[in-house]
Amino acid sequence: MERYLRKGRFGKRIGKTAPVYLAAVLEYLASELAELSGNMAKEKPMNRIRPREIVLAVRQDDELDRLLKDITIPGGGIYAITWHLDRQIENLEQIAWETQQAEEALAVQAVDLDGVV
């Protein structure tokens, strides 16, 4: 690691603990990715982690998605972005709820008018 840090010219000086820290960060990322991908594979009865599960795991985790937003995993397929559909569904549910509340209010007013007449 130290050799790659020095060769990459990331800075003029590289501390003795920098390679250890970098190795720990890479190990954490690899274990996190393996765990999430394994969970995706377990949802389907599978014994292996395919590139598709890696893509699904990365795209469903906010932090990994931000970190790996510009990568392409060969054989992973695409991840359909449906957030705009979720927003439209929430808007339709809100409109339906408001309509139901308005109809109930009109029904209460109609009952009151029937009692007055």
Residues 74 and 51 sit within 8 Å (Cβ to Cβ) = yes
Cβ-based neighbour number of residue 53 at 10 Å: 21
Say if residue 34's pLDDT is above 90.
yes
Mean pLDDT for 4-24 is: 87
Whole-number average pLDDT of the chain: 83
Say if residue 46's pLDDT is above 60.
yes
9 backbone φψ class: left, alpha, beta (φ>0; ψ -120 to 50):
left
Burial class (CB in 10 A: 0-12, 13-18, 19+), 68: middle
Distance (Å, whole) CA 8 – CA 60: 32
Model confidence band, residue 82 (pLDDT cutoffs 50, 70, 90): low
pTM for the model stands at 0.58
Mean pLDDT for 52-60 is: 87
Model confidence band, residue 76 (pLDDT cutoffs 50, 70, 90): confident
72 backbone φψ class: left, alpha, beta (φ>0; ψ -120 to 50):
beta
Residue type, 6: R
CA geometry: angle 28, 34, 37, nearest 5 deg: 135
